[in-house]
Each structure stands twice: as C-alpha cells, then as structure tokens.
Amino acid sequence: MTISTTPRLEIRNLVRVFEGKRVVDDVSLAIQPGHVTCLLGPSGCGKSTTLRMIAGVDMQNSGEIYVDGQLICDTVFRIPPERRAIGLMFQDFALFPHLSVGENVAFGLTGSGSEKKARAKTLLDRVGLAHFIDEYPHQLSGGEQQRVALARALAPSPKIMLMDEPFSGLDNRLRDGIRDETLDLLKEEGASVLLVTHEPEEAMRMADEIALMRGGKIVQRGAPYNIFNAPADRDAVAFFSDINTLKGKVEGALTDTPFGQFLAPGVPDGAEVEIVFRPQHVHIDFDRQGKGPNPTQMAGTPARGIVRRARFMGSESLVEFRMDHDGQTLKATVPNVFLPAEGTPLWLTVRRDRCFVFPVT
C-alpha cells in the first residue's frame, strides 16, 4: 500500500504587511495528516496573523496556501473560509450565549435536525458533557466551556484544526488534564492541528513538531526534543528556560572561561562567543575535584561562587551565586530542598555536553 506524503496543510512564503512592516515574513510550513504542529513564539511575532490567513479571515500580501495539495488561496484565487474544511478554536471559546450546549455544537452542521443533534450528542459524550446538552454556556465552568468549543469545532469533521491560545483562559490546575483530553480527541478525529501558543511547556506537551517564530519569521523547526536540545541561537535557548551566559574570545577554536576551555569550531580567532547553559546543568562540586557523576559529562574546571539567595520552588531549589571571577550572577537549580545561607562559598561545575556556544553577532 502506498502512503501519501502530500501534506494536509502547506503554506508557502506567506507575507503579511501592516503599515509598511512585515508582521509575517516569508513563512513556509507543512503539516502531515494527523500531526500536531505548534507555532511558538512571543506575543507580536506573527503567530496569530499566520493562523488568520490560513483560516481565510485575513489575506496575505503574497504566498500560497494548500490543503491536500490543492491551492485554496493566493493573491488572486481564494476559497472562502466556510469551504476550506478548517476548524477554529480561540482563547475566548466564542460560544453563543443564547444557544444551548447542544445547539452550539450543532451550529453550522448540515443535514436534518435529528442528524445534527445525534452528531452533537456523540461529540459531547466523547468530552464527557452529554448530560449538559440542554444547558447554556453560562451554566458551565471555564473548562467545560472549552470542551464544548472543541466539540463544536470538530463537529463538521474538519481536515485541519487551527487553535489560537485555546487554553490560556483556564486555571493552571485544569490545563494539563484538558490539554491531554483535547489531544486525544484530535488524534481520534484524525485532524491535522496547527496550535498557536507563547508557552513552551504547552508546545512541548502537545506538538509533534514545533516551529519557533520571532519577528515574523520561523527561526527553527523540529521535534520538541531537538528544538530544546539543539537550539538555533541564544534566544531559542532562553525562550524555553532561564539561562546563564559566559562570554569569551576564540583562539585556535577554543575559548577560555573560569570553567575551563570550550570548543568553538568554525569561529575565527579573535571573535567573541557566548557560552549558554541552563541552571539545571550547573552542579555544586563539594569536593572541588570538578568531576561529574560520570566522565561523559565533562564537568571541567570548578569555579567559586558566593550564595546570594536560595529559594525553594516546590520540586527543586533555585540558588543564585555571585561568581568570584567577574561578579556576575549565575543560577543553579538543585533537586529537592537545598537552601544554603547567603554568603556561603561553593564551588560549581558546568556540564560541557549541555552547553551551547554561539558567535556574538
């Protein structure tokens, strides 16, 4: 059996200009059937504008949009939004207050009244809300309204689901469960999903692929593991977590630091680089030997820091140090409870295999 490799959704070189500024700048993306792709980035980077163009509620200045290999929109040809087989979910749920839950889900379906009601009941049953079919949105909690909105978006069996910050209005304690339920239902329906969010944790939890956006462009694409562990630049590292940064100059493809030498292959002599690493990859070296738990971690040379503050964060402790060598602040996270007193001197090492070296531009 031949498996088609045609993307369910493909966008090519999309550009959107507002007041002379390219808010979406030559964005291309392809999503395979049944996959979840996340557009991740800070507010104002062009994520939602990209979504609106795909949905057909905004027009691109240039570029093309395809569904199953068929052109649905360029700057001349345009299939209207209601004929694109695309479902939409927004952060405000956009339920009709004057319609019952069942009527909301059935809204926009074709067929007889009994067929529409049966489809609504089936979907509400799958999200655990069939008993609310005759209630009204104001009688439901935020999490319940979110699930109704999901059922309504899935009711016409769209090929593609576009989701714009759909969980941002929910209480933190509800989010994880509802995200998982939503993902399960989307997978069951076989919809390809493009999810917009500014939360790295949400993208990591839900996406098969992440497209990291900044300044209207996609700066990196890949599986969550690869995006996190092989970031394209310093800002990509910083978007996912707190970071520590050391600066140095390159001589013979090496950079000297208080934690020893770091490789900087391909960087010319005399150029400046930044060595970036996350707080969880800073280790306290109580015996001052500079050895990590195993040799492959290449812990390197220990450097001394003085504790500035320590805070317990729940599952870990965050300790901030003032480093002897330059006075800058360095952060370390330690599992469980570790709260050394302010002013305590401690020796630190850094995991070489978890450091990223970037040229200063």
Give the model's confidence band at 295: pLDDT under 50 very low, under 70 low, under 90 confident, else very high: very low
Asked if the model's pLDDT at residue 185 lies above 90, the reply is no
Asked if the model's pLDDT at residue 299 lies above 60, the reply is no
**What are 11-44's pLDDT values in tens digits?**
999 999 999 999 999 999 999 999 999 999 999 9
Q: What angle do CA 84, 115, 132 make, to 5 degrees?
A: 95
Which residues contact residue 17 at a Cβ distance below 8 angstroms, ignoring those fewer than 6 apart? 23, 61
Helices and strands counted in the chain (H then E): 8, 20
DSSP at 345: E
The answer to whether residues 186 and 155 touch, using CB atoms and an 8 Å cutoff, is no
* CB-based burial, 332-361: b 16+ in 10 Å, e otherwise: bbbeeeeebeeeeebbbbbbbeebbbbeee
The answer to whether residues 86 and 162 touch, using CB atoms and an 8 Å cutoff, is yes
User: How many CB atoms lie under 10 A from the CB of residue 177?
Assistant: 11
**What are 323-346's pLDDT values in tens digits?**
998 889 999 999 999 999 999 999
Integer Cα distance of 39 and 52 in angstroms: 13
Integer Cα distance of 15 and 60 in angstroms: 6
What end-to-end distance do the CA atoms of the chain give, in Å?
Answer: 50
Which residues contact residue 3 at a Cβ distance below 8 angstroms, ignoring those fewer than 6 apart? none
Give the model's confidence band at 175: pLDDT under 50 very low, under 70 low, under 90 confident, else very high: confident
**What are 106-157's pLDDT values in tens digits?**
998 888 888 999 999 999 998 889 999 999 999 998 888 988 988 998 888 8
